[in-house]
Structure 1
Amino acid sequence: MFQPSQHDVRRFFCEVAAKQKQRTPLSPIETLAGGWVDEHPEYAADLADVEAALAAEYSVEAGRTNPFLHLAMHLTISEQVSIDQPRGIRQAVELLAARRGSLHEAQHEVMECLGEMLWESQRSGLPPDGIAYLDRVRQRATRD
């Protein structure tokens, strides 16, 4: 399993943003990531300087979203949907997107579910519970 470091993730998104700006060809995963970069123009300054990105600290106390974590979660969810893993996530996300009228907004809700799953896994020391994650997404997709 590929487990990129924090610096790897930050470099990746900075490189995607630079390639988009220079109109350099992108790999398929970069194209997918680039779509989420485009959806978040508020992160342009964070993505423009690799060295500053590598040194940046994002704390809850500072009240600022970590743009790299946010983009990585978008990319993770997109990959999960593309391969339907956990099984049923594609349908749940599509239903949620239809109900919200926006894939982007739906993904933000799915991020909350993904974050909860990861937090519970870290807290318990157990592997992430994909079934509980999927159930949370389905609940959001089927409630008004």
Structure 2
Amino acid sequence: MFNPSQHDVRRFFCETFRKVQANEILTPLEAIARDWIVQHEEYRDALKDVDAALAADYAVERGQSNPFLHLSMHLSIAEQISIDQPPGIRGAFLALAQRLGSEHDAHHEMMECLGEMIWNSQRSGLPPDGVQYVECVKRR
């Protein structure tokens, strides 16, 4: 299983942003990341400088949003939807996107459920509960 470090993730998004700006060829994963990067113009400054990105501390206590975590969650959700894993997530997403009139807004709602699932798993020491995750998305 691939388990990138925080720095790996930040380098990936910064490098993808650099390649987009330079009109360079992207890998398939970078192309998906690009689609989310362009929808979040507010993150451009964070993505411009890899050294600053590696040093940045996005403390919750300071009320700061972590652009790399946010983009990573978009990427994770896009992958989940593409392979319908956990089973039923694609249908739950499509229904939510239709209700909200926006796939982007549906992703943001799903992030709440994904974060809750991960938090519960970490707290309990049990594997992530995909069934509960799908049910959470359906309730949104």
Give the TM-score normalised by the residue count of structure 2.
0.99
Which residue is equivalent to 2:25?
A: 25
Percent of pairs with identical residues:
61
The within-5 A match list for 1:1-144 is 1-140=1-140
Runs of 4+ displaced beyond 2 Å: none
3-state DSSP class of the match of 1:128? coil
Between the aligned partners of 1:139 and 1:63, the Cα distance in structure 2 is 27
Aligned partners of 2:96, 2:135: CA distance in 1, in Å?
A: 13
Q: CA deviation at 1:138?
A: 1.2
Provide Cα deviations, 1:93-124, integer angstroms capped at 9, x if missing partner.
Answer: 01101110111100000000000000001111
Number of residue pairs aligned between Structure 1 and Structure 2: 140
CA distance in 1, matches of 2:101, 2:25: 31
CA RMSD of aligned residues (A): 0.5
Q: TM-score, normalised by structure 1?
A: 0.96
1:114 maps to amino acid: L
Structure 2, unmatched stretches of 5+, are none
CA distance in 1 between partners of 2:122 and 2:136 (Å): 18
2: CA distance between counterparts of 1:121 and 1:87? 18
Distance 1:127 1:91 in 2: 23
